[in-house]
């Protein structure tokens, strides 16, 4: 048996770099579709062979051409090569090079349109597949900021205007929440990374924005403690102080009438945390509470891109 695994020497980071796939995509393709079968070290780390890398690169190329991973994951190398050749009839030979030399990815708007089409058809599997393709093609940061965030904003607007049923909105939210949760559970953190606590304040039940913020912070090199939605200020502060967090990030989606409650929660949080810990407040309606945020000595973060930039600045600042 050991001789069968002697050539499985490449760790996940090497495979991800050479295939252009995210580590999350590789794990899902392995677990859900048995696309490859890595060896395991004594500490349960995955190791891959050159053949595994070539196969994953072929699968990536085929999915970028529009094929579903569920339909081609069990294809033989010869079948994959023939499939790719049919998709690229002018190519002199099948290429398994990393996607750095492949065609540029589609515009995020194209993924949003197809995702909205799946939502209108109540096609949960189609929506999930579109999210998965977008992750592979766009990369983590573009996926979050340029595809999922505007997609959910459009879904909310369409529902508010009566162009989507509440059932459509609920299905989309469930699929996206599950997808983001899987990304969150697969995120790795470097030892000694700064800590960010991410949640939503009392009265804010929609957590998609908080999940997007937590994944953005994780991609920026932070260790994220994600607490879910609708948490009182004293609970948020307790966790942040216990884990010596550098920031607390809150997401606000609802623009309700009870601004007093939000003001009270932010002020309680500031008193509990003291003056040194940063409080970030973002989300679809956060700008409408700008004066409340400012009075609590918190900082309004207008977008995921702004959050990523701000976190990078903090991460590069030596602790005092």
320 inside domain:
no
**Residue 265 is inside which H or E element, if any?**
helix 259-273
Give the helix, strand, coil percentages of the chain, each rounded to 5.
Answer: 60, 10, 35
On whether both 7 and 61 belong to a single domain, the answer is yes
Residues 176, 182, 187, 193, Cα dihedral to 10°? 70
Q: Mutual orientation of helices 77-87 and 50-64 as an angle, nearest 10°?
A: 30
Say if residue 206 is in the same domain as residue 298.
yes
CATH of the domain at 64: 1.10.1660.10
CATH at 112: 1.10.1240.10
Q: What is the pLDDT of residue 135?
A: 86
3-state class (DSSP) for residue 48: strand
Confirm whether 303 is domain-assigned: yes
Residue 52 Cα to chain centre, angstroms: 25
In this structure, the answer to whether residues 13 and 122 fall within a common structural domain is: no
Instruction: Flag whether 35 is in a domain.
Output: yes
Q: Quickly list DSSP for 55-105.
A: HHHHHHHHHHTT--HHHHTT--HHHHHHHHHHH-TT-SS-----GGGSPPP
| Same-domain pairing of 140 and 239 | no
* Distance in angstroms (rounded) separating the CA atoms of residues 122 and 152: 15
Does residue 132 fall inside a structural domain?
yes
Three-state SS at 200:
coil
Task: Mark whether 70 and 7 lie in a shared domain.
Answer: yes
DSSP symbol at 246: S
Residue 105: strand pairing partners = none
**Spatial distance between the Cα atoms of 272 and 236, rounded to a whole number of angstroms:** 9
Statement to judge: residues 96 and 121 lie in one domain: no
- Shared-domain flag, residues 311 and 205: yes
Among 101, 131, 159, residue at a domain's last position: 101
Asked whether residue 251 falls in the same domain as residue 167, the answer is no
Q: Which residues pair with 46 in a beta bridge?
A: 40
pLDDT the model gives residue 248: 98
Instruction: Specify the long-range contacts of residues 187-191, CB closer than 8 Å, at least 24 apart.
Output: 187/215, 187/218, 187/219, 187/224, 188/23, 189/218, 189/222, 189/223, 189/224, 190/221
- Are the CB atoms for 200 and 254 separated by under 8 Å? no
Please give the pLDDT value at position 3. Answer: 41
Query: Is residue 166 located within the same domain as residue 82?
Result: no
What is d(CA 54, CA 102) in angstroms, rounded to the nearest whole number? 15
pTM of the model as a whole: 0.71
Residue 123 lies in a domain: yes
**Is the domain of 88 the same as that of 38?**
yes
**Which of residues 57, 78, 101 is at a domain's end?**
101
pLDDT 10s per residue in the chain (320 long)?
334 455 888 888 888 888 888 888 888 888 888 999 999 888 888 899 999 999 998 898 888 777 888 889 889 989 888 888 887 655 444 445 444 444 445 689 999 999 999 999 999 999 999 998 888 888 888 899 999 999 999 998 898 888 999 999 999 999 999 999 888 877 777 778 999 999 999 989 899 999 999 999 998 889 999 999 999 999 999 999 999 999 999 999 876 667 889 999 999 999 999 999 999 999 988 999 999 999 999 999 999 999 999 998 887 655 54
Task: Specify the pLDDT at position 89.
Answer: 52
Is 46:11 a contact under the CB 8 Å cutoff?
A: yes
CATH at 221: 3.40.50.280
The range of the structural domain enclosing residue 291 comes to 195-315
Per the structure, the count of domains in the chain is: 3
122 domain-assigned: yes
Last residue of a domain, one of 56, 74, 101: 101
Task: Based on the fold, state whether residues 92 and 114 are members of the same structural domain.
Answer: no
Q: Is residue 60 part of a domain?
A: yes
Q: Are residues 218 and 304 in the same domain?
A: yes
Helix or strand (DSSP H, E) at 248: strand 247-251
In-domain check, residue 235:
yes
């Amino acid at each position: 048996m050991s001789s069968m695994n002697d050539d499985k020497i490449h760790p996940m980071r090497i495979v991800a770099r050479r295939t252009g796939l995210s580590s999350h995509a590789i794990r899902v393709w392995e677990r859900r579709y048995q696309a490859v079968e890595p060896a395991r070290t004594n500490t349960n780390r995955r190791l891959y062979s050159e053949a595994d890398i070539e196969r994953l690169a072929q699968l990536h190329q085929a999915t970028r051409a529009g094929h579903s991973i569920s339909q081609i994951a069990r294809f033989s190398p010869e079948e994959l090569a023939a499939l790719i050749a049919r998709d690229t009839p002018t190519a002199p030979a099948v290429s398994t090079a990393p996607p750095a030399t492949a065609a540029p990815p589609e515009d995020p708007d194209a993924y949003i349109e197809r995702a909205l089409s799946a939502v209108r058809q109540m096609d949960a599997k189609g929506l999930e597949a579109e999210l998965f393709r977008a992750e592979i093609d766009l990369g983590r940061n573009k996926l979050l900021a340029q595809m999922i965030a505007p997609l959910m904003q459009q879904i909310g607007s369409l529902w508010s205007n009566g162009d989507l049923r509440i059932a459509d909105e609920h299905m989309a939210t469930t699929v996206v929440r599950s997808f983001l949760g899987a990304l969150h559970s697969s995120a790795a953190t470097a030892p000694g990374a700064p800590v960010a606590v991410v949640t939503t304040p009392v009265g804010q039940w929609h957590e998609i924005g908080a999940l997007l913020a937590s994944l953005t912070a994780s991609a920026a090199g932070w260790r994220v403690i994600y607490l879910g939605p609708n948490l009182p200020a004293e609970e948020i502060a307790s966790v942040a102080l216990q884990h010596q967090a550098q920031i607390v990030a809150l997401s606000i989606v609802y623009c309700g009438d009870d601004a007093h409650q939000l003001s009270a929660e932010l002020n309680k949080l500031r008193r509990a945390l003291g003056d040194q810990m940063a409080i970030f407040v973002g989300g679809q309606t956060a700008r409408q509470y700008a004066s409340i945020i400012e009075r609590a000595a918190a900082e309004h973060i207008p977008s995921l891109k702004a959050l990523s930039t701000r976190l990078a600045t903090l991460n590069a600042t030596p602790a005092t």
